[in-house]
Chains A and B, each alone.
Chain A
Amino acid sequence: MYSRIVVPVDLAHPDILAKALDTATDLARHYGAALTYVSVTAETPTSVAHNPREFGEKLAEFARARGEADGLTIDAVAYTATDPTIDIDAILLRAAEEARADLVVIASHKPGLAEYFWGSHGGRLAGHATISVFVVR
């Protein structure tokens, strides 16, 4: 059914990711699909990393550790943005396309809860993507 699953990852808020990551792993196992973590960082220093390179390394390590725990190979692709607040939705869409994914699994908060980062991104992604989007709440 699915051959490549993409999961947007927010390294600054790993706690709210757990359920989406579990879901993605289960789906990947079930369909024998490949799994890719993607993430977007600012070019300026952030709470996660001093620079984009360090961010890329941290994402790769995050994917490797998770893959080892799950017994899967998980790829990681990091993207940079000059204005992440605004541009993140467009970049995630492009990331899914470039990874040739046929399913996106994205964590999202319950509507109404104050969590800005993943707030409406899952919803907007589902609205614009041509592939399937699984919004995990």
Chain B
Amino acid sequence: MSDSNEGEPLPPPEGASDVIETDYEIGQQNITPQIGPFGLDIHNPVFVISGLVVVAFVILTLAFQTQVEPLFTALRGFLTSNFDWFFMIAGNIFVLVCLGILISPLGKVRIGGADATPDYSYAGWFAMLFAAGMGIGLMFFGVLEPVYYFGTPWGDQPLMRDIGVVEGELADPATVEAARRMAMAATIYHWGLHPWAMYAVVALSLALFAYNKGLPLTVRSIFYPIFGERVWGWTGHVIDILAVFATLFGLATSLGFGASQAAAGIGFVFGIEGIGEDVTVAVILIIVITAMALISVLRGLDGGVKRLSELNMILAGILLLFVILVGPTATLVGQFFGNLGAYVTEILALSNPVGRDDDGFRQGWTAFYWAWWISWSPFVGMFIARVSRGRTVREFITCVLLIPTIVSAIWMTTFGGSAIDQVIARVSESAVYGYVIEAYVPELSLFGMLSELPFAAITSTIAIILVVVFFVTSSDSGSLVIDTITAGGKIDAPVVQRVFWVTFEGLVAAALLIGGGLVALQAMAVSTGLPFALVLLLGCVALIKGLMAEPR
């Protein structure tokens, strides 16, 4: 807690800010029912409706699993193939809005008032936003995605360029190099400016309207400049309920990736066959992880969530450094700049929403990612907002948009670059080739890459621990966010409510895994992404309006 002003007497006046005067009082719609020995303080109807719908969703999915699974798969396919252009245009707008604010005078506005001071050091702040924002995805896709684009036999490579390896044979050196650059550029594109711009828009808006304008810390507050007092009515209820769904389903998608990867990793390291497909193992993992998340939220934001995030960053740093050092160090350093260059040169072609013939890539990968990021944005955005008080808007965008993009590029270069090098060196002999291209076992791709480096048993164990801890840091921060939204923006709601949400997330994931509904879950995450993309576009307008009204 050394770097937070936790428990310090109030700092002197925070300086000028443009407080919005509204008659709405935070918590005025809250009800305080007594359930057993527990007193609650929850927003009505947001808590009630989201709770009931999620329970109903789980029961229906479990009861009709065979019927609903194709339905959800079709839904995901329909959304990503018919609205890919919409997701892509929206994504581009978010990047442009962020970059525009970064270079405009609006960047001088300070979150929390002109004289506010930051609560967290750069290290603690950055650890939290990165652990919440990407975490498990980096572990799951770091090796998988670049290798996939490098040699996909399914015809869904980016921009339909030539791939580096065809039917187990390496292409000519020039094509291999071009395919490698393209694979890295496309991967960084999916993990770079665009996702972080989506987070930044939501986070910045939430922070601005809570810390500067004095509105409750909940998603509806962003829309005050557009809907006025109506945000306290059903317009706002719908927005908040959507945010709760997006968070829950987005988290559950992550839970699914995390549980399957951790289980597969344990089987791989300890040589246990079939453990990756064993639902019991996955459910036990979910119980362990949920218990850890529970301890984390009970220890609070500083004592639990922040410390775990920092531990996370240290472990991830060790693993990253290890792969850089034992891998082709000099080549990786050179490739990093080459990959960033490739990203910059290809970003226009990759983000062009129309007139392309790479449907498999654009719809199956880009549109799915955009929808997934957007469904995560209320959760990550709200969490980033909560820990960002005291930063200027310029500092904020630099740290939430530019630095994470560079870190993602380093991560992808290291893990993806090393993996592609292994494929180039040994082609179909390499473990990664086997798991990504020959037999598609995505959850083993990372472990395949590590198995060809020295100390594979140690690094694979670190990787499993990382997957679990990343999982915990997403689950605990997600629960805090859902708790805040369903308490009408109160962050001091009774402890029992955050216990409820942590437990509930674990239950949802476990129930759906047992029922085989993970496909449904991922489809739901994408489905909540679509309405939320619209909501976010409106949010951009509100954000700029809100920033213009602030004293600079």
Instruction: Find chain B residues with CB under 8 A from A82 CB.
Output: 4, 6, 119, 301-302, 386-387
Cβ A45 vs Cβ B298 within 8 A: no
- Name the interface residues of B480-513: CB closer than 8 Å to any CB of A: 480, 489-495, 498
Instruction: Find chain B residues with CB under 8 A from A43 CB.
Output: 112, 119, 211, 389
Q: B41 within 8 Å of A by Cβ?
A: yes
Cβ A83 vs Cβ B14 within 8 A: no
Q: Given A82-B387, A116-B39, A44 and B211 touching (CB < 8 A)?
A: yes
Q: B217 within 8 Å of A by Cβ?
A: yes
Total residues of chain B contacting the partner, CB 8 A: 50
Instruction: Find chain B residues with CB under 8 A from A112 CB.
Output: 37
Cβ B492 vs Cβ A46 within 8 A: yes
Q: B341 within 8 Å of A by Cβ?
A: no
Q: Given A81-B7, A87-B7, A44 and B386 touching (CB < 8 A)?
A: yes
Query: How far apart are the CA atoms of A49 and B211 in the complex, in Å?
Result: 11
Q: B216 within 8 Å of A by Cβ?
A: yes
Nearest-neighbour CB distance to chain B for A96, whole angstroms, equals 12
- Name the interface residues of B4-22: CB closer than 8 Å to any CB of A: 4-11, 13-14, 17, 19
Instruction: Find chain B residues with CB under 8 A from A95 CB.
Output: 7
Q: A80 within 8 Å of B by Cβ?
A: yes
Cβ A91 vs Cβ B493 within 8 A: no
Query: How far apart are the CA atoms of A95 and B8 in the complex, in Å?
Result: 9
Closest residue of B by beta carbon distance from A43: B389
Q: B27 within 8 Å of A by Cβ?
A: yes
Cβ B7 vs Cβ A50 within 8 A: no
Q: Given A43-B211, A44-B211, A44-B491, A94 and B7 touching (CB < 8 A)?
A: yes
Q: A115 within 8 Å of B by Cβ?
A: yes
Nearest-neighbour CB distance to chain B for A134, whole angstroms, equals 23
- Name the interface residues of A52-105: CB closer than 8 Å to any CB of B: 52-56, 77-88, 90-91, 94-95, 98
Cβ A51 vs Cβ B300 within 8 A: no
Instruction: Find chain A residues with CB under 8 A from B427 CB.
Output: none
Q: B26 within 8 Å of A by Cβ?
A: yes
Cβ B495 vs Cβ A85 within 8 A: yes
Contact of B14 among A47, A53, A85, A94 (CB under 8 A): A53
Cβ A50 vs Cβ B214 within 8 A: yes
Q: B215 within 8 Å of A by Cβ?
A: yes
Contact of B9 among A46, A51, A55, A78 (CB under 8 A): A78
Instruction: Find chain B residues with CB under 8 A from A55 CB.
Output: 10
Contact of A91 among B6, B26, B211, B301 (CB under 8 A): B6
Nearest-neighbour CB distance to chain A for B300, whole angstroms, equals 3
Cβ A52 vs Cβ B10 within 8 A: yes
Q: A1 within 8 Å of B by Cβ?
A: no
Nearest-neighbour CB distance to chain A for B299, whole angstroms, equals 7
> Closest 5 CB pairs between A and B?
A50-B214, A86-B300, A114-B39, A83-B301, A116-B494
**Residues of B near any A CB (own CB < 8 A):** 4-11, 13-14, 17, 19, 25-28, 32, 34, 37-39, 41, 112-113, 119, 210-211, 213-217, 298-303, 386-387, 389, 480, 489-495, 498
